[in-house]
Chain A
Amino acid sequence: MPVAPLSDGRRAWARRTPAGTLAAWLGWLALVALTVFCWRVMTQDTIWSFVRDAPAQAADIGARMFPPRWSYFPVLLKPLWDTLNIATLGTLAAIVLSVPVAFLAARNTTPSAALVRPAALFVIVASRSINAIIWALLLVAILGPGVLAGICAIALRSIGFIGKLLYEAIEEIDATQVEAVRATGASGPQVLTYAIVPQIMPAFAGISVFRWDINIRESTVLGLVGAGGLGLNLESSLNTLAWPQVTLILIVILATVVASEWISAKVRARFG
Chain B
Amino acid sequence: MSAAPARRWRPPPLIASPWLRYGLALGAAVYLALALGSVEVNWARLSEGWARGLRFLSGFAAPDFSRRWDDIAQGMVESLTMTVTATVAGIAISVPIGIGAARNLVPLPVYLVCRAIVALSRALHEIVVAILLVALVGFGPFAGFLTLAFATIGFLAKLLAEDIEDADAAPIEAVRATGAPWLSLVAFGVLPQVAPRLLGLSLYRLDINFRESAVVGIVGAGGIGATLNTAIDRYEFDSAAAVLILIIAIVMASEYVSGLVRARVK
* Interface of A toward B, CB cutoff 8 Å: 31, 34-35, 38-39, 41-43, 45-47, 50-51, 54, 57-58, 61, 81-82, 84-85, 88-89, 125-126, 128-131, 133-134, 137-138, 141-144, 146-148, 151, 194, 198, 201-202, 205, 217-218, 220-221, 224-225, 234, 238, 250, 253-254, 257-258
Cross-chain contact B39 with A148 (CB below 8 angstroms): yes
Closest Cβ neighbor of A202 among chain B residues: B14
* Contacting residue for B141 out of A42, A147, A218, A238, CB 8 A: A42
- How big is the B interface, by class? 35 or more
A186 vs chain B, min Cβ distance (A): 13
Interface check B6, CB cutoff 8 A: no
Does B137 sit at the interface, judged by CB under 8 A? yes
Whole-angstrom distance between the Cβ of B127 and the nearest chain A Cβ: 5
Chain B residues with CB under 8 Å of A146's CB are 40-42
13 further A-B pairs in the complex, CB-CB below 8 A; given A54-B137, A202-B14, A234-B128: A31-B88, A34-B84, A89-B39, A131-B214, A138-B240, A141-B52, A142-B53, A142-B56, A143-B53, A148-B46, A201-B14, A224-B219, A225-B218
Q: List 19 A-B contacts (CB under 8 A).
A: A31-B88, A35-B84, A35-B85, A41-B81, A45-B141, A61-B132, A84-B35, A130-B211, A131-B212, A131-B214, A134-B244, A141-B56, A141-B235, A143-B49, A217-B125, A218-B125, A221-B125, A224-B218, A225-B218
Q: Which residues of B contact A42 (CB under 8 A)?
A: 78, 81-82, 85, 141-142, 145, 222
Residue of B nearest to A88 (CB): B35
* Identity of the chain A residue whose Cβ is nearest the Cβ of B83 in the assembled complex: A38
Contact among A51, A151, A198 with B138 in the assembled complex (CB-CB below 8 Å): A51
Q: Identify A38's interface contact among B31, B81, B138, B240, CB under 8 A.
A: B81
| Known contacts A31-B88, A38-B80, A142-B52, A221 near B128 by CB under 8 Å | yes
Residue of A nearest to B78 (CB): A42
With CB as the reference atom, state the residue of chain A lying closest to B31. Answer: A88
Using known A-B contacts A47-B138, A50-B138, determine if residue A143 contacts B45 with beta carbons closer than 8 Å. yes
Residues of B within 8 A of A143 (CB): 45-46, 49, 53
Question: Chain B residue with minimal CB distance to A85?
Answer: B35
Most-contacted residue by chain A among B128, B212, B218, B255 (CB, 10 A): B128
Which residue of chain A has its CB nearest to the CB of B240?
Answer: A138
Asked if B251 lies at the interface with its beta carbon under 8 angstroms from chain A, I say yes
Q: With the chains together, A258 CA to B123 CA distance in Å?
A: 8
Alpha-carbon separation in the docked complex, A217 to B80 (Å): 25
How far apart sit A54 and B232, CA to CA, in the bound complex (Å)?
Answer: 31
What are the 9 tightest A-B residue pairs by CB atom distance, in nearest-first order?
Answer: A50-B138, A38-B81, A144-B45, A42-B81, A129-B251, A38-B84, A54-B136, A85-B35, A129-B248
Q: Measuring CB to CB, which residues of chain B are less than 8 angstroms from any residue of chain A?
A: 11, 14, 31, 35-36, 38-42, 45-46, 48-49, 52-53, 56, 77-78, 80-82, 84-85, 88, 123-125, 127-128, 131-132, 135-138, 140-142, 145, 211-212, 214-215, 218-219, 222, 225, 228-229, 232-233, 235, 240, 244, 247-248, 251-252, 255
In the bound complex, residues from chain A placing their C-beta under 8 Å from that of B228 are 134, 137
Residue of B nearest to A84 (CB): B35
Give the distance to chain B from A211, nearest Cβ to Cβ, in Å.
16
Chain A residues within an 8 Å CB radius of B222: 42
Residue of B nearest to A135 (CB): B244
Set of chain A residues within 8 Å of B142, measured between Cβ atoms = 42-43, 46, 51
Question: Which residues on the B side are within 8 Å of A234 (C-beta)?
Answer: 128
Is the Cβ of B244 less than 8 Å from the Cβ of A130?
yes
Specify which of B38, B42, B56, B137 is in contact with A82 (CB 8 Å cutoff).
Answer: B38
CB within 8 A of B123: which of A43, A51, A194, A257?
A: A257
